[in-house]
Amino acid sequence: MLTGDEFGRLFEEFRRTAFRLETLSVYDVEDERDEYAAFLAGEPMPPEWSDNPWVRSMTDLGKSVSRVHVLRSPLTDYLRYELSAYPGNITAGEQIGIIDLAEKEVTGLPDHDFWLFDDERVYRMHYTSDGKFQGAEPLPSDRLREYRRYRDIAQSHAVPFSDYRKSHQA
């Protein structure tokens, strides 16, 4: 399992594309705890929310970063927080799609998160039941076809985040 800097290097090493499938309704990220508490308290978010520097560090190099978040409304507080950050990720160049399972049934997707880099390397993400990251498990190359198919299914069923947001604003 990759964690910490070893996991972080994956985002420096990929050459063309990084795709993420997200499936959890809560992620417990230590670096986000203060920001999450501020969000819940209705405080303004930091300036980097308008143009995510982490995403920009990849897209400015001509790399493609995309994700599909599979969720079920009504949204958890954490999902409301995460989705409120997505416009800044999109400004920085990330392509984000949403599949809301309360609105449409999609079959053929895994029940776990993963990253697919350059269509050549796949990492299954492992979390505790309360959303703490445990590590990224490198999967063997004979699983690539399966995970490419998961990506294709997710992308074909996802609605662009901007469309999802428009249809779910109060």
* 88: CATH: 3.30.870.10
Query: In which band, very low, low, confident or very high, does the pLDDT at 168 lie, cut at 50, 70 and 90?
Result: confident
CA-CA distance, 86 to 5, in Å (whole number)? 24
pLDDT the model gives residue 51:
95
CA separation for the pair 112, 121 (Å, rounded): 16
Digit-coded pLDDT (tens) for 25-38: 999 999 899 999 99
Residue range 60-77: mean pLDDT, rounded? 97
| Domain housing 86 | 4-168
| Confidence (pLDDT) at 170 | 47
pLDDT score of 79: 96
Q: Which burial class, exposed, middle or buried, applies to 165 when counting CB atoms under 10 A from its CB (0-12, 13-18, 19+)?
A: middle
The reply to whether the predicted model has a pTM over 0.75 is yes
Bigger pLDDT: 45 or 145?
145
For residue 70, the model assigns a pLDDT of 98
Number of domains forming the structure of the chain: 1
Q: What is the pLDDT of the chain when averaged over all its residues?
A: 96
